[in-house]
Structure 1
Amino acid sequence: MTGWWAALKKEVSGDEEGGDRVPRRAWSPEVFDDIEWRRFEALCEALFAQAGVRTESQSHGADGGIDIWLYSAHSPKPMIVQCKHWRRKPVGVQQMREFFGVLKANDLQYGTFATSSTFTVDALDFAKANGINAQDRSGLLRLIGTRTAEQQATLLSVAYEGEYWRPTCANCGVKMVERQPKEGGTPFWGCVNYGRTRCRFRLFTL
């Protein structure tokens, strides 16, 4: 295995060549690069739960643009969270507008958009004007930093639970496998159920 795919696998897993994956012992921006999208959502849910709200989420399947529901005893309406696990690509205003549409469709005024990446200036301006709490990786790290040492350790264990580096199929909720197109081209992560249910969900790194 050579070229950019080998480099990507090393980046995603935290591997050194010939070595084993070792979870990081302290919080840093690299934690977000180590983990896959489902672990990122689980991490966000655990982080908000530590603030004393009740949370609801689902592991896979159609979610209507809502990854986490937050319920507070101090508010008659829930808040919603959308999580976007991107490593390099910034979240743009288009994604923020789509999330705003989800808010309106559910008759909600406030929501949180969390990403492991960053936001464009236009996306941040739109969020500020429309009651959306935009949390990028720096903001999430600052929020994690307000937790106790024990809580931070708990969040780290959530992030690195199981095969934290291997992507989860958004349709089936099972871990994906590396696939190489028969006709050549860019390798990708594919669902293991392709031969059974013909699930065609595939994932590339953003």
Structure 2
Amino acid sequence: MSRKEPSLLVIFSYLPWWASVTAGVLVYVSLAYVFPALIIENPIISMMIMAGQNVAWVFALMFTLPAVSSIFKHKKRQQLLQHQQGIDTLREISWSDFEVLVGEAFRRKGFSVQENMNGGADGGVDLRISKDGKLHLVQCKHWRSSKVGVSIVREMFGVLTASKAQSVYLVTSGEFTNEAIKFANNLPITLINGQALLALINEIKTTVNPIQVSHNTIKEHTHNSEKICPKCQSQLVKRTAKKGKYMGKEFLGCVSFPRCRYTEQL
């Protein structure tokens, strides 16, 4: 059975609020003013136009309502991002919120994010993200205890080869097995565990002017897990100074910033 396509109103609820409002205004103007001004000789079509003019406000309201849902979705994404304080808060959210959180993290990094509007994974793909004209696939695994094994990575590699995407991101709130890490090595597959995701979120939260980073910048977070802050035992991640005499230079900073301000020069 083919997957049911989302309705037009559902699609509008995932777009910015102004897209729905604009559509509502256009529908109203068309039904109330544009179509009635046309000279139509067919009496049936003329009756339909007249009926449409009488209920123009109903259709306009129908197209405007998704703007409310869009605003709530935007607010929820912001709250989810700000709520993350550590691995515990990351793992206490639901699997659906985890997907929303991951999508927002990529969105803040300059990716265009297409969420799955039907609910549930679409052929193993939870998100489709794009940047610089290149498509990437994302699968989210909100696993609290079990590690993500090599079978999942193999499955996503198969999905990748059958698609037109450039790479795959596998994101989990937990960890990956050694076999999974070895299989993904030297393949267009980026594994992001819970700690690496937290590092990415903390970088977003502490950056006043988010920069547009490349695909490899996110991948770097998966290689810094051995760097530990000597003051608070949190993870150290690579950052770029935004101001001061070291502006533009890279350094290692604590993911607990601003609570911990330890830095280390590279």
TM-score of Structure 1 vs Structure 2, range by shorter chain: 0.5 to 0.7
Equivalent position SS for 1:108: coil
Match of 1:48 in 2: 106
Cα shift at 1:117? 1.0
Asked if 2 retains the 8 angstrom alpha-carbon contact of 1:117 and 1:137, the reply is yes
Residue 94 (structure 2) aligns with:
36
1:65 paired with 2:115, answer: no
TM-score (norm 2): 0.45
SS state of the match for residue 145, structure 2? coil
RCO higher in structure (CA 8 A, sep ≥6): 1
Aligned pair partner of 1:146 in 203, 206, 214: 203
Following superposition of structure 1 onto structure 2, how do residues 100-139 of structure 1 map, counting pairs within 5 Å?
Answer: 100-139=157-196
Q: CA deviation at 1:31?
A: 1.1
CA 1:55/1:26 → structure 2, altered by over 3 Å: closer, same or farther? closer
Q: Name the CA distance, whole Å, in 2 between partners of 1:150 and 1:35.
A: 24
Q: Name the CA shift for 1:129/1:38 in 2 (closer, same or farther; >3 Å).
A: same
Q: Secondary structure at the match of 2:204?
A: coil
Choose from 71, 86, 100 the match for 2:143.
86
- The structural deviation recorded for 1:25 is 5.2
Asked if structure 1 preserves the Cα contact closer than 8 Å seen for 2:138 and 2:168, the reply is yes
- Give ranges in structure 1 of 5+ residues lacking alignment: 1-22, 152-206
SS of 1:146's partner is helix
| Counterpart Cα distance in 2 of 1:45 and 1:143 | 12
Whether the aligned pair in 1 keeps the contact of 2:84 and 2:90 (CA below 8 Å) is no
Q: Write the distance in 1 (CA, Å) between the matches of 2:135 and 2:83.
A: 34
Give the letter for the 2:175 counterpart: T
Q: Percent identity?
A: 35
Residue of structure 1 in register with 2:85 after alignment: 27
Larger radius of gyration: 2
Question: Within 2, Cα distance between the matches of 1:148 and 1:35?
Answer: 18
Post-superposition offset of 1:62: 5.2
CA RMSD of aligned residues (A): 2.1
Does residue 99 in structure 1 map to residue 145 in structure 2? no
* 3-state SS, counterpart of residue 105 of structure 2: helix
Aligned to 2:185, what secondary structure does the other structure show? helix
Question: TM-score, normalised to structure 1's length?
Answer: 0.57
What is the SS of the residue equivalent to 1:27?
A: coil
Structure 2 counterpart SS, 1:79: strand
Structure 2 distance, partners of 1:93, 1:45, is 23
The answer to whether the 8 Å contact 2:149/2:177 transfers is yes
Cα distance change, pair 68–92 in 1 and its aligned pair in 2 (3 A): same
